[in-house]
Structure 1
Amino acid sequence: MKNIFLAFSFFCASNFLFSQHFSEKVDSLIQTKFTEDQGPGGVFLISQKGKPVYEKAFGLANLELNVPLNPDNVFEIGSMTKQFTSVSILMLEQQGKLKVTDFISNYIPDYPNGSNITIHHLLTHTSGIKDFTKIKGLSEISQKEMTPQMMVDFFKNEPVDFKPGEKFEYNNSGYIVLGYIIEKVSRETYEDFIRKNIFEKIGMIHSYYATDRKVIKDRAYGYHKKSDGFVNKSVISFSVPYASGSLMSNLDDMLKWQIALNQNLLLNQKESTKAFTKYKLNNGEEIEYGYGWHLKNINGIPTREHGGSIFGFKSMGVYIPSKDIYVLGFSNCDCNSPTQVVKDIAELSLKNLQ
């Protein structure tokens, strides 16, 4: 009995030392990029098999009030919103209300060339539609309250960049159109659809369609860095990035999201597989993108990745399906991207977590 107790004690001590050593390695990776204790910073999560093994915050959530960040803070997640838009489309397909092979003219009859552009093209960034973030008049609407139709009208008559399916080129406009289609098919606003069918269904109680007006508990404030120091982020209307980048969330909620995807709580296996398939261009060339996720690898081990960037904030998530490891990082200064740090942590986690 004594030997069993000693063995158990040794096992616990070894686990504690390993965990402490691993955390120190992760801290070191993060602190190479997030170096300012008295400036904005970031929050980071590592989970394995749905359980957090590392969760930590660095820097300040609010510079004026000198409030430190904590892992519960809510951040704008930028283009990680596209995951929620793509899953919403697949949920509607699962319900028999649309097909990803449908042409967008089925839903927006006056869309130029809409009889040649499919929902699939929009999801995979292969539509050729002009990205609205590259249009000169963007600054004129950036603070206006835009309806989805107004946003679509803003770019729909721009010359296309290429024929549908001819190449992959990351494109925010396609996800604006997808948001508009979600509204037309569901007869709900995009905000309400996401809230009712995703956030409330899986318990994402700290996730929202972004707003600067409402009081958001645990909100992290966003910043830019200028030559003379930090300034508050530029104000935009979230009706402009809309379904391409207007959601807010925190680490724990995004872990709930990942678990829901793994357990098919929102999509059946058939629809879920569509999100994580590498698709091909017209010429047969394979692209490293599914529906709302980049499909890449770390040393040959497949990953599902996506980042986000919006005024004052940057985000990045890497999921490793074979190990059920999820690494996530949010920054509340667009001067500090967590992208490479999160990738480095994911690589470290592969080597250290069993």
Structure 2
Amino acid sequence: MKKTRLGFLLTILFITICYPFNTAVAQSFESKVDQLIQTEFSDSNGPGGVFMVAQYGKPIYRKAFGKANLELDNNLSPESVFQIGSMTKQFTAISVLMLEEQGKLNTNDPISKYLPDYPKGDKITIHHLLTHTSGIKDFTKMKSLSTIAQKEMTPKMMVDFFKDEPMDFDPGEKFEYNNSGYVLLGYLIELVSGEQYEDFIKKHIFDKAGMNQSYYASDRKIINKRAYGYHRKEYGYVNKTMISFSVPFSSGSLMSTVSDMLKWQNALNQHLFLSTDKTRKAFSKYKLNNGEAFTYGYGWHIKDINGIPTREHGGSIFGFKSMGVYIPSVDIYVIGFSNCDCHSPTQITRDIAALALTEIGK
């Protein structure tokens, strides 16, 4: 009886001492994160954002700021669905590696193997497309983009739109962020798999990872908990510019929630889609023709925060901005979405990640 009572008392003492400390740390971290976010997202009556911090696959901070729809005066919630822009490239890159693991393509293949009439296609490899080193003209920098921005384009039409443009540099000579390369990758996914890109992503990634609130973007479909996108003018906010999502296609046309993006990150860690070796290809640094290393893998920037390696990527599309940072060594994932392209979550997300390293990454 005495031993049992002593054990009980020790347990109470442990809880009394430790629990308030842990609660205090959590409250302090939450308060500091709130302050970081509110430097940019301070207008509770305007469009805002959703931010999440997770460690070991579980959320430890998740909050929404501002409005999902100004006209209806609806607040954003942690489950709001945002357009994620170029974070789409992660899904495209992993899809390519899935097809490589199935033996249906090789990242060292020249694109002429699949598109025989592509100019200089024998010198441009899938690897070049994945790493933004192809030298292909980025369609977002073409003055004629406005002529197709609202048209329904097939992947082939998109490729034909930019393929005859002069190359910016020879393949492998330079790293220069490039949306055209990822549109080409989406087209190759369709050619090799026999499935439409939208269907491939849903079947082989979203459904497999349980990402039930993630979609190929549409302004016509009824999407539960949709966040509406905005621009800010001198006279106030306006609804986002309308585009056809067939234009950004596999370079920037997906939608998701912060919770679904955590499912994505967890699925990557658990090798749900790829073997360990194949997954490693996405997160490796590569070199240019001259041997110089650059900080991009396949669909992710490979960077660091205070010397600690990170995997990062952001996105920007009319009315929306996004940013995600993953710190593998401490399994911390930080993600931020904004439904006004006047508010960037990029630096805030990195600042939160740096704070998380200091406060909880031990």
Identify the TM-score tier after normalising by the shorter chain.
over 0.9
Please list the CA deviations of residues 252-279 of structure 1 after superposition, one character each: whole Å capped at 9, or x if unmatched.
1000000011110001011101000000
Kindly state the Cα deviation for residue 7 of structure 1 after the two structures are TM-superposed.
Answer: 1.8
User: For residue 3 of structure 2, what is the aligned residue in structure 1?
Assistant: none
Match of 1:174 among 166, 181, 184: 181
Deviation of the 1:4 alpha carbon: 2.6
Once the two structures are TM-superposed, the CA of residue 8 in structure 1 deviates from its matched residue by 1.3
The 2-side partners of 1:3 and 1:168 are apart by 60
Alignment of structure 1 residues 1-354 onto 2, 5 Å: 1-353=8-360, 354=362
Please give the secondary structure, in 2, of the residue aligned with 1:152: helix
The one-letter amino acid of 2:92's match is T
Deviation at residue 10 of structure 1 after TM alignment:
2.2
| CA distance in structure 1 between the aligned counterparts of 2:55 and 2:82, rounded to whole angstroms | 22
User: Can you list the C-alpha shifts for 1:173-227, whole angstroms capped at 9, x where unaligned?
Assistant: 0000000000000001000000000000110000000000000000000000000
For residues 102-131 of structure 1, the C-alpha deviation after alignment (integer angstroms, 9 at most, x for no partner) is 000011111000000000000000000000
Q: Match of 1:37, as an amino acid?
A: S
Distance 2:12 2:299 in 1: 50
Q: Which runs of 4+ in 1 moved over 6 A?
A: none
C-alpha distance in 2, partners of 1:54/1:44?
8
- Give 1:294's aligned amino acid: H
Amino acid at match of 1:95: Q
Give the letter aligned to residue 287 of structure 1: F
Aligned length: 354
What secondary structure does 1:322 align onto? helix
**TM superposition shift of 1:137:** 0.7
- Aligned residue for 2:52, secondary structure, equals strand
For residue 172 of structure 1, what is the amino acid of its counterpart?
N
TM value normalised by structure 1: 0.99
- Give, in whole Å, the separation in 2 of the partners of 1:197 and 1:337: 31
Identity of aligned residues (%): 68
CA distance in 2 between partners of 1:281 and 1:131 (Å) = 19
Q: Distance in 2 between matches of 1:7 and 1:274?
A: 45
Cα distance, 1:14 vs structure 2:
1.3
Amino acid at match of 2:214: S
Inter-partner Cα distance in structure 2 for 1:101 and 1:3? 62
Q: Which amino acid aligns with 1:65?
A: L
Deviations 1:320-339 (A, max 9, x none): 00000000000000000000
For 1:194, what is the secondary structure of its paired residue?
A: helix
- The residue type paired with residue 127 of structure 1 is S
Q: C-alpha displacement at 1:17, in angstroms?
A: 1.3
Deviates more, 1:219-228 or 1:6-15: 6-15
Query: RMSD in angstroms over aligned alpha carbons?
Result: 0.6
| SS of corresponding position for 1:153 | helix
In 1, the alpha carbon distance for the partners of 2:276 and 2:29 equals 34
> 1:293: Cα distance to partner?
0.2
Give the AA of the match of 2:56: K
> Aligned AA for 1:115?
D
Based on CA coordinates, which of the two structures has the bigger radius of gyration? 2
Cα offsets for 1:44-97 (capped at 9, x unmatched):
000001010000000000000111111000000000000000000000000000
- TM-score, with normalisation over the residues of structure 2? 0.97
Deviation at 1:12? 1.4
What residue identity is the alignment partner of 2:324?
Answer: G
Cα distance, 1:286 vs. partner? 0.1
